[in-house]
Amino acid sequence: MTSNFRPSSRLSGFYQKTIDERVALLTAWASLRGEEALALDQALSLAQADKLIENVVGRYALPLGIGTNFLINGKEYLIPLVVEEPSIVAALSHAARLARAGRGFITGSTEPVMIGQVQLLDVADPQRAEDAILAAQEELLAAANTSPTIARLGGGPREIRVRHLPHTPTGPMLIVHLHFDCRDAMGANAINTAVEKLAPRLERLSGGRALLRILSNLSDERRAWAEVAIPAAAFGTPDFSGEEIVQSITEANAFAVADPYRAATHNKGIFNGIDPLLIATGNDWRAVEAGGHAYAARDGQYRALTEWKVANCGQPPNTDAQPPVLYGRLELPLSVGVVGGATRSHPTAQVALKILGVSSARELSEVAAAVGLAQNLAALRALVTDGIQRGHMRLHARQVAVAAGASPERVDAIAQQLIETGEIRVERARQLLDAELDIG
């Protein structure tokens, strides 16, 4: 990844600005043209929607927010996020701010290699079939080179592998994997075209019958990871020391490593960050969810996708910070694209990619990993301290105070009073504001 100069994404008080002020700031930050700024809100036309899916009768709008403060491999990022759940944008922006107490996020990724599968049935001699298929690897790879665009960008078929499934509910089967470098495309179409083309040749080589020819969403050859190392001191609150909090975060993570019931919720929180970014950029978030959850069960038990530990001595990786340091890592399959599909045809997805300033699918996958890790950190920090509800309530109370007409300077105080009275309602906020006027 290159480290282009961009203004700082540390936008203090962004949440307190009006929508117009935020749009103006973002427009300047990301050098958006007039029509691009308009596309933040005036999303897809009905005519465009009608080209995307079938039986269109309308469009369904969701909020588009901006995650702030992200420093990834030394590059500043603002993160476009499309999501309906309150707190997510605030939480991951806060975690990204904490990460700046270290060196931000450090990320990496594999080559963008996807896997396509061909299912072969009625194969009389599976071992002989495997030998014949592998002996014909060169010819098969040449035949699978079906996307001139991807080939031009340096991608294409890379390898053939054969897997034996001797015991399935309907009997033995032989599975052929095609590894295909998709470059900047998510690659579903390219892979599916390639495996469909290979199937008749594989039938001849194996003496079997090809049934399914489709990509695998467990794209474990196409992974991205993010790491963060934050000094414990950055976590301190009036109620808890930083060291207590980071120790508790490792214990909370251990729970999700050991227990699938907790791991499901823990990993859901990770996707609270990743999915909104994928939706904003027009990517197939169901594919990434499927791959992530399957990867989380790769050793036979479903587990946390993250690792968190406290480094007490020595220099933890990727940081200059003094120990103790909280070190976190997330790695998962991330099959995303920056060309093709809705990334191209959805006008807001185009603007989202411009705001991100990513130049490749790999870079987008790495940003997604950093966002997932940030969201997980935010969730764990809240869970091991105040619990998740207090933060939700505070945010909700602020929104209620704003809705009741509180000025930006009074929002926090009114929100605090709403929390204390236990009545987080617009009517109650109005009463509190009226009472202030009377006193004034």
Closest to ligand MEV by CB, 121 vs 388, is 388
Q: Which residues of 216-228 are buried (b: 16+ CB within 10 A; e: fewer)?
A: bbbbebbbbbbbb
Q: Is 197 an interacting residue with respect to ligand MEV (CB under 6 A)?
A: no
Query: Which among 181, 275, 284, 331 is annotated as catalytic?
Result: 284
Q: Which residue is nearest to ligand MEV (CB)?
A: 269
Closest to ligand MEV by CB, 186 vs 379, is 379
Among 75, 183, 223, 266, binds ligand MEV (CB under 6 A): 266
Residues linked to residue 225 through DSSP beta bridges, in sequence order: 108, 331
Closest to ligand MEV by CB, 180 vs 302, is 302
Phi-psi region for residue 94, left (φ > 0), alpha (ψ -120 to 50) or beta? alpha
Query: Which among 354, 392, 396, 412 is annotated as catalytic?
Result: 392
For CA atoms 287, 222, 302, 171, the dihedral sign is: positive
Q: Is 399 an interacting residue with respect to ligand MEV (CB under 6 A)?
A: no
Which span (7-15, 98-106, 264-272, 333-341) binds ligand MEV, by CB under 6 A?
A: 264-272
Q: Is 392 an interacting residue with respect to ligand MEV (CB under 6 A)?
A: no
Look up 438 and say whether it is catalytic: no
Closest to ligand MEV by CB, 197 vs 396, is 396
Give residues with Cβ within 8 angstroms of 105, minimum separation 6. Answer: 70, 71, 72, 73, 96, 99, 226, 227, 228, 370, 373, 374
Q: Is 395 an interacting residue with respect to ligand MEV (CB under 6 A)?
A: no
Cβ-based burial of 45 (10 A; exposed 0-12, middle 13-18, buried ≥19): exposed
Please state whether the peptide bond connecting residue 324 to the residue before it is cis, i.e. omega within 30 degrees of 0. yes
Look up 244 and say whether it is catalytic: no
Look up 423 and say whether it is catalytic: no
Lookup result for tokens 């109005």: 430
Sheet holding 223-231, edge to edge: 75-82, 64-72, 105-109, 223-231, 325-333, 306-311
- What are the tokens at 96? 């990204």
Among 197, 268, 354, 392, binds ligand MEV (CB under 6 A): 268
Lookup result for tokens 């991951």: 92
Q: How far is the CB of 238 from ligand MEV (least distance, A)?
A: 22
Distance CA 317, CA 264 (A): 28
Q: Is 103 an interacting residue with respect to ligand MEV (CB under 6 A)?
A: no
- What are the tokens at 169? 């509910």
Of 415, 436, 410, the closest CA to residue 425 belongs to 415
Closest to ligand MEV by CB, 85 vs 320, is 85
Query: Which among 164, 177, 268, 309 is annotated as catalytic?
Result: 268
Q: Using CB under 6 A as the criterion, what x/- string covers residues 269-308 for binding ligand MEV?
A: x--x------------------------------------
The enclosing H or E element of 121 equals strand 113-121
Residues in 350-389 at the binding interface with ligand MEV, rule: CB under 6 A: 379, 383, 388
Q: Is 250 an interacting residue with respect to ligand MEV (CB under 6 A)?
A: no
Closest to ligand MEV by CB, 177 vs 268, is 268
- What are the tokens at 376? 């997980």
Look up 268 and say whether it is catalytic: yes
Closest to ligand MEV by CB, 199 vs 274, is 274
Q: Using CB under 6 A as the criterion, what x/- string covers residues 207-246 for binding ligand MEV?
A: ----------------------------------------
Residues forming the active site = 85, 268, 284, 392
Q: Please report, as ranges, the residues that interact with ligand MEV according to CB under 6 A.
A: 85, 265-266, 268-269, 272, 379, 383, 388
